């Protein structure tokens, strides 16, 4: 068998995969592992749980591959299935979450990370703070759109929303982030407030 190149489109990979080619299966796995892993870690701090869910996702995918449909939307399909695995696992592992029946009520702890050369800038702190004030759904949508890189269509598929619904979610969330760094008075105030610590 020829070795499949990584340059195959998702659709071609999928055709090969559901036709039973193990090479294509491995390429899909390697391509999506990093983004699934990172995304999963915002639902739970337990990295082993996240890895288990990725494992289950691919084992199931393999077992059902002959029944899978032709699709060129591998990415939202994988992400949505993976999220469902996480939801089920979280629910089965914790007593308090047993009653959580809605996948849309999962927490999502994404926030901006600080970068070493921006220590003196308090904008990042303001953004982090604003991010905390968003709903988990807004954070997740923003993460999927701007970090994972989904388009609105893919986002709607993962978030179980209409196209307009996912646009609204992004739009409102991003507007709040913008407002956090657009208030000049607040910027100045927090700069003053932060100043004594910086002097140390």
Partner 1 sequence: MNLIPTNKFQEFIDDQSFIDWVEHPSVESDQYWKQYIADHPAEKEHIHQAKYILKRFQNEKKKPNSNDVRNVWLNIQSKILNPPRKISYITRWSAAATILLLIGIGAGILFFAREQKDTSANYTAMAKMAAAGNEVKLIFSDHSEKQFTAKDPIIKYNQHGDILVDSVTLANELSTHNKSDKELFNQLVVPKGKRSSLTFADGTRLFLNSGSQVIYPVTFNKKLREIYISGEAYLEVSHNAGWPFIVKTDHIEVKVLGTEFNIKSYPDDFNSSVVLVKGSVQAIFKSQKVRMKESELFTFDNATEKTSIGKTNVLEYVSWKDGWMYCTNEKIANIATKLSRYYDVNIQFNDDMVKEMTLTGKLDLKTNCQEILNVISFIAPVDYKLVGRNILLSSKIK
Q: Locate tokens 């759904």: which residue?
A: 137
**Nearer residue to partner 1 within complex by CB, 88 or 164:** 164
Q: Any alpha helices (H) in 64-162, and if so which ranges?
A: 74-93, 123-133, 136-142, 152-159
**Nearer residue to partner 1 within complex by CB, 98 or 147:** 147
- To partner 1, the closest distance from the beta carbon of 162 in angstroms equals 13
Q: Locate tokens 């598929």: which residue?
A: 157
What the block records as the tokens of 198 is: 């910086």
**Nearer residue to partner 1 within complex by CB, 112 or 194:** 112
What the block records as the tokens of 59 is: 């084992």
Q: Which residues of this chain interact with partner 1, rule CB under 8 A?
A: 1, 15-16, 18-20, 22, 26, 29-30, 33-34, 37-38, 41-42, 47, 51, 54-55, 58-59, 62-63, 66, 69-70, 112-113, 115, 123-124, 127, 146-147, 167-168, 170-172, 174-175, 177-178, 181-182
Contact 157/80 with Cβ under 8 angstroms?
A: yes
- To partner 1, the closest distance from the beta carbon of 103 in angstroms equals 21
Contact 49/90 with Cβ under 8 angstroms?
A: yes
**Nearer residue to partner 1 within complex by CB, 20 or 133:** 20
- To partner 1, the closest distance from the beta carbon of 15 in angstroms equals 5
Comparing C-alpha atoms, which of 200, 104, 115 is closest to residue 158?
A: 104
First to last CA, the chain: 65
- To partner 1, the closest distance from the beta carbon of 25 in angstroms equals 9
- To partner 1, the closest distance from the beta carbon of 33 in angstroms equals 5
**Nearer residue to partner 1 within complex by CB, 28 or 157:** 28
Q: Locate tokens 């796995």: which residue?
A: 29
């Amino acid at each position: 068998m020829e070795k499949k190149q990584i340059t195959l489109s998702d659709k071609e990979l999928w055709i090969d995969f559901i036709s039973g080619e193990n090479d294509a299966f491995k390429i899909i796995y390697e391509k999506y592992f990093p983004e699934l892993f990172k995304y999963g870690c915002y639902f739970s701090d337990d990295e082993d749980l996240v890895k288990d869910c990725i494992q289950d996702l691919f084992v199931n995918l393999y077992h059902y591959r002959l029944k899978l449909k032709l699709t060129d939307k591998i990415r939202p399909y994988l992400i949505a299935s993976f999220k469902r695995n996480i939801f089920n696992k979280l629910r089965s592992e914790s007593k308090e979450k047993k009653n959580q029946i809605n996948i849309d009520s999962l927490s999502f702890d994404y926030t901006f990370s600080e970068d070493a050369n921006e220590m003196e800038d308090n904008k990042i702190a303001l953004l982090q703070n604003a991010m905390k004030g968003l709903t988990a759904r807004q954070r997740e949508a923003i993460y999927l759109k701007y970090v994972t890189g989904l388009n609105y269509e893919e986002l709607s598929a993962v978030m179980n929303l209409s196209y307009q619904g996912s646009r609204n979610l992004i739009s409102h969330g991003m507007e709040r982030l913008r407002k956090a760094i657009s208030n000049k008075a607040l910027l100045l105030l927090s700069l003053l407030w932060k100043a004594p610590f910086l002097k140390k």
